[in-house]
Amino acid sequence: MIWAPGGVQLGQPARPAAPVGRPSGRGLDLSFDPRMVEGQASADANLRVTGAQVGADWRAAFRRWLDQNISYPMGALREGESGTVRVRVIAGPDGRVRSVRLTGPSGSPSLNFGTTFPFSGAQLPAFPPPADPEGVTIDLTVNYILIRR
């Protein structure tokens, strides 16, 4: 089981009940940075978009895309690997990914590949106009946290 606060359950759909007084496990945390509430971070410290003005609707659609396409890589699970991966994605105004590259590798080939591969040739949510025709840059940080019980 993978657990991180505010995340989603990945892997097997069935999960054991959480011990009394402990929150139930929900998976990989791709949620907003909690420092946002304290005024110490932007609206989403894990996501920065340049070349388009994106609002809550686009961010929600992108979050759904992430939930459907990014999961904890099985190789990293087997090896007990955790880490942070940073990627830069360049996409057209229509959301078609033009390129993806690691800007902050984790040290785990499984985590790095599991983060970059889903973006290769992918169709992301289209950006609201006016988006830069030369490309929209998405800087994304994914924190993989493996907690064992």
Q: For 87-105, how does the pLDDT look when each residue is reduced to its tens digit (9 = 90+)?
A: 999 999 999 999 999 999 9
Cis peptide before 13 (omega within 30 of 0): no
Q: Is the pLDDT of residue 2 over 60?
A: no
Q: Under 8 Å CB-to-CB from 112, ≥6 apart: which residues?
A: 85, 102, 105, 106
- Type of residue at 19: P
Determine the pLDDT at residue 44: 54
Token pair of 106 as six digits: 């984790």
Q: Is the pLDDT of residue 30 over 90?
A: no
Could you tell me the pTM of the whole model? 0.69
**Would you place residue 23 in the very low, low, confident or very high pLDDT band (cuts 50, 70, 90)?**
very low
Determine the pLDDT at residue 45: 59
